[in-house]
Every structure is written in C-alpha cells, then in structure tokens.
Amino acid sequence: MEFKTPKSIKTTTTTTNNESTEEEKQTNIQQIKNCLQLNYTDPDWSGIPANSYKLTVIKDGREINSIDLDGRSKTVFGRLDTCDVQLEHPTVSRHHAVLQYKPREEEGDLEEGFYLYDL
C-alpha cells in the first residue's frame, strides 16, 4: 500500500470592499475578548470580609510581598494582567483560581471563611 502526502492547499481571501475586512477584525477582537474574559460568577453567599486579611508571598524562606484582601469578595489568580495576583509560570492558566470569601454562616450552609476554586 502506498501512502501519499496531501498537497498543501493555498487559500486566498479576496475582499471586494473594506467592510468585510473590518468585520473580520471585529470578529477576531471579539474572539480574543471571549478568551480573556473571566468565566466565573460570585456565588449568592459571597461578601466582603469585615476583618483585615492579607496573603503573604514567601520565596526562599523570606517574605517578599503581601497582598491586601480588604474590600473585595474574591481574588483572582492567573497569568493575565487583569488578574488580582499574577503568577508567571507556564503551568499557570490565564485565569487559574479564585479565592472567594463567605462572610456569614447559615444553618446547614458552608462555614464562614475563604474558599479556593480551581478555574
């Protein structure tokens, strides 16, 4: 049996006016925005902590930074500039995780505190 390598197919896009080019650009921009948009919605039980909290960044046993969590119900971790905490590592997703705060405890509900969600 003989295997044949497919010939490469050349495609060309011809536009009769600038509208289709502009339309293609807008479609591409929208696709990029959809890819970069955070796909997470705060749960109904979320809220802002009454007390002051911070995350401490430790590297090689030394504190190198601290991240204030005051005034926000969630903190987003990931590679994008739009994330609250940017992590520069190839294994980290654009939107990697969310640290969500739950302020009140109701009967049979989750306890008050922070919950980490993998995105």
Distance between CA atoms of 39 and 33, rounded to whole angstroms? 12
Indicate left, alpha or beta for 71 from its phi (over 0: left) and psi (-120 to 50: alpha).
Answer: left
Reported as a single tens digit per residue, the pLDDT across 13-68 is 555 555 568 887 777 766 666 667 888 999 998 999 999 999 999 999 999 999 99
pLDDT grade for 72, boundaries at 50, 70 and 90: very high
CA 6-10-16 angle, to 5 degrees, is 155
For the whole model, what pTM was predicted? 0.68
